[in-house]
Amino acid sequence: MHRNLIKVILIFTVLFSTNFNSYGQSSDHEINLIQELFGLEKTEMLINLLGDVNDEFWPIYKDYESKRMTLGKVRLQLIEDYAKSYDTLTDDKINELLKDTQTQSKNIEKLINKYTTKVKKASGPKVAAQFYQLETYLLAAVRVKIMESIPLIGELDPEY
């Protein structure tokens, strides 16, 4: 499990270790490929963590992953928007980005909670708790990697 976790973190390290100014240049194909790779690694981690689960778990998880990937694309679009507008940020743009980022964070948290409940009903509290632990851990790790990879507002231009 630990080895797989390192692989997942490495995938996101590659995604977010590129030059900040090149974020706006990522293609949908690259994003889809990275998300698929990330999803496969997560599935392998879940298989190792959960062992045998009932047949009802995997369709729920597949549905969750589909929705999570959509929200992941929203997160990447927000980062790209931030990167494109970084040199010309206004208070209005900052407010827009802040609002959109907070909404995106709430949406991913709601999604995890919603699917934890579904998993609990279908596969029991232990599987649900393991699902929740893994998802929230990976979400936190990805958030840390993103924050380490992008400059704070004004960091590159101390005049702001």
**Does 131 reside within a domain?**
yes
**Does 157 reside within a domain?**
no
Q: Are 119 and 59 in contact (CB under 8 A)?
A: no
pLDDT at 152: 85
**Does 125 reside within a domain?**
yes
pLDDT at 7: 47
d(CA 47, CA 26): 31
pLDDT at 28: 65
**Does 158 reside within a domain?**
no
- pLDDT, tens digit only, all 160 positions of the chain: 545 544 444 444 444 444 444 544 455 665 665 666 666 677 788 888 888 888 899 999 999 999 998 998 898 889 889 988 888 899 999 999 999 999 999 999 999 999 999 999 999 999 999 999 999 988 898 888 888 888 888 777 655 4
Residues 129/51/31/111 CA torsion (nearest 10 deg): -20
**Does 160 reside within a domain?**
no
Closest CA to 108 of 79, 75, 86: 75
d(CA 114, CA 128): 11
Domain ranges, residue 45: 2-149
Number of domains in the chain: 1
pLDDT at 32: 61
